[in-house]
Structure 1
Amino acid sequence: MNIHLGFEIGYQFPQPTPMILTLSVHYSRASDLLRPDHLLTKPAVPATAYRDLFGNWCTRLVAPAGRFVLTADTVIHDSGAPDIVVPSAPQTPVSTCQRPP
């Protein structure tokens, strides 16, 4: 089955704001995209992309002061099969996570 995915996220920034975004489809599913999931910004700003230690595509940019909008739009092919369930996977409540010093 084909799944349409996309978003439009709007911000209002009082000053230039550095951002690291993890809004792209995971690299392991890149071959399932029927068209690229390019991240677009309005206004257009320079951005750099990299993959983090978990394989997520990240985008680093500095949003300008004022209205700033992020959009993406694509279609991904998926089998429709449910995700694998791992009942033994540990979960840590957010309330018990330690803050860095």
Structure 2
Amino acid sequence: MLIRLGYEIAIECAGSTPIISLLEIHRDRQADIKRQTRVLTSPSVPTRVYHDRHGNSCRRFTAPAGGFRILYDAVIEDSGEPDEVNTLARETPVAELPDDVLVYLLGSRYCETDHLSDLAWQRFGNLPPGWARAQAIVDYVHSRLSFGYGYARAT
């Protein structure tokens, strides 16, 4: 299956603003790209790409004061097959997790963990650990939660 993806992001900057965008196709999928444009900015500014410790391609640039746009368009090929299901996958206790994955368990300014923790334990704490619990969480999040910058607060 062919998937067309792209974006046109328009922002207004009060002053010259350094930006890092994480809008690139992951390098593991580069061979699947069938067509793509260069990342374009308007007005045109120099950009450069670096890779973070997770392998993400990060594009650095400085947007000038005033209106600014960044554009991209691509087509990528994908099998369309769902991700592998492993109902026997086990849950690793937090105490046994490798140090480098603990960062993913930390709170986020986009999620009020002090409020969400109680809900999580009420909804999912009695489910058997492993695949069933993880899938229940994914299903819950997918059907009930949405992300929106407009909901973010400094707290």
Within-5 A mapping of 1:1-101 = 1-36=1-36, 38-84=38-84, 88=91, 92=105, 94=108, 95-96=112-113
1:35 Cα deviation after fit: 1.8
Q: Which TM-score applies when normalising by structure 1?
A: 0.83
CA distance in 1, matches of 2:85, 2:9: 31
Equivalent pairs: percent with the same residue? 42
Q: Which runs of 5+ in 1 are unaligned?
A: 97-101
Amino acid corresponding to residue 48 of structure 2 in structure 1: T
Contact kept? 1:13, 1:67, Cα under 8 Å: yes
Contact kept? 1:24, 1:39, Cα under 8 Å: no
Task: Let me know the Cα RMSD of the aligned residues.
Answer: 2.4
Which has the higher Rg, Structure 1 or Structure 2?
A: 2
CA distance in 2, matches of 1:62, 1:18: 4
- Higher strand content, 1 or 2: 1
CA distance in 2, matches of 1:82, 1:37: 28
Higher mean C-alpha displacement, 78-87 vs 4-13: 78-87
Across the two proteins, how many residue pairs are aligned to each other? 97
Instruction: Kindly provide the CA deviation profile for residues 65-87 of structure 1, in whole angstroms up to 9, marking residues without a partner as x.
Output: 00000110000000001134576
Amino acid corresponding to residue 53 of structure 1 in structure 2: R
Contact kept? 1:47, 1:60, Cα under 8 Å: yes
Amino acid corresponding to residue 56 of structure 1 in structure 2: N
- Higher helix content, 1 or 2: 2
Instruction: Kindly provide the CA deviation profile for residues 3-58 of structure 1, in whole angstroms up to 9, marking residues without a partner as x.
Output: 00011110000100000111000000000000235311111101111111111111
Q: Which TM-score applies when normalising by structure 2?
A: 0.56
